[in-house]
């Protein structure tokens, strides 16, 4: 039943979300906030399939991790939008309060399952599902004992949600290491895996090439595939 509950059932349920606001997180990163219906819920870390409805465009549906936690009162997605943007992202930027977007889901297996020592590995915009996961831990006392460390790689050193992460560190929800090179990232991974091996869980979110590199690093340290959860981000 787990697969059907996490994927098929919500996948076939469509709902309209009303746009509230958008704001800039960094030079080329924006968050978009939508009203949350009372019956809408998800597991922190999952993604939705969002469709543009105010105009007809090619490839009008795209997946986005939900950066807000299930217990927050809005649905938020956060994405990178540069000057050279796709038709989809241009359409996102056109949204004004009251307009609507279609969503299916949320779906996906990218969420915490137990209290194992956990390493979160984020590359750039891949921090978005982890923001949801960590926010949810604040309101889930039964999960608060999970030992979590976050390795946050960002070559631009933007480090989205850094102030929020600092507050979470103060409350001992997570320990964070900020990195700007792949070598430093691999060293951090090897340090954690040397301590926990297959007693730990490893969650990786970011660009496909970064995920492949991290997965190779973990497997060379004898971490089994079943302990590695991946969430690949692509540009569009």
What residues form the annotated binding site for FAD? 62-65
- Kindly state the tokens that stand for 179: 């990195």
Q: How many CB atoms lie within 10 A of CB 66?
A: 29
| Beta bridge partners of residue 205, listed in sequence order | 122, 231
Distance between CA atoms of 233 and 210, rounded to whole angstroms? Answer: 10
Q: Which of these, 19, 11, 15, lies nearest to 77 by C-alpha position?
A: 19
Q: Phi/psi class of residue 108: alpha, beta or left (left: φ > 0; alpha: ψ in -120 to 50)?
A: left
Element of type H or E holding 166: helix 162-170
Element of type H or E holding 78: strand 74-80
Q: How many CB atoms lie within 10 A of CB 205?
A: 27
Length, in residues, of the chain: 236
Residue listed under structure tokens 């979110």:
205
State the angle between helix axes of 182-196 and 208-220 in degrees (0 to 180), rounded to the nearest 10: 40
Residues annotated within a binding site: 62-65
Quote the DSSP letter at residue 214: H
52: three-class secondary structure by DSSP: strand
């Amino acid at each position: 039943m787990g697969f059907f509950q996490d994927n098929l059932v919500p996948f076939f349920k469509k709902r309209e979300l009303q746009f509230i606001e958008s704001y800039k997180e960094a030079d080329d990163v924006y968050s978009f906030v939508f009203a949350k219906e009372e019956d809408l819920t998800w597991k922190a870390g999952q993604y939705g399939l969002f469709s543009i409805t105010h105009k007809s465009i090619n490839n009008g549906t795209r997946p986005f991790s939900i950066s807000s936690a299930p217990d927050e009162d809005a649905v938020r997605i956060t994405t990178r939008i540069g000057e050279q943007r796709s038709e989809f992202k241009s359409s996102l930027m056109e949204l004004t309060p009251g307009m609507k977007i279609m969503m299916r889901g949320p779906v996906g297996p990218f969420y915490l399952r137990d209290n194992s020592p956990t390493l979160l590995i984020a590359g750039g915009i891949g921090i978005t599902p982890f923001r949801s996961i960590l926010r949810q831990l604040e309101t889930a006392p039964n999960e608060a004992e999970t030992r979590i460390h976050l390795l946050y790689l960002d070559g631009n050193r933007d480090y989205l949600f850094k102030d929020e992460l600092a507050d979470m560190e103060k409350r001992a929800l997570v320990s964070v290491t900020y990195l700007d090179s792949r070598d430093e990232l691999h060293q951090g991974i090897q340090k954690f895996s040397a301590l926990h091996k297959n007693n730990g869980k490893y969650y990786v979110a970011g660009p496909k090439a970064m995920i492949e590199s991290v997965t190779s690093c973990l497997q060379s340290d004898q971490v089994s595939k079943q302990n590695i959860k991946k969430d690949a981000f692509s540009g569009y």
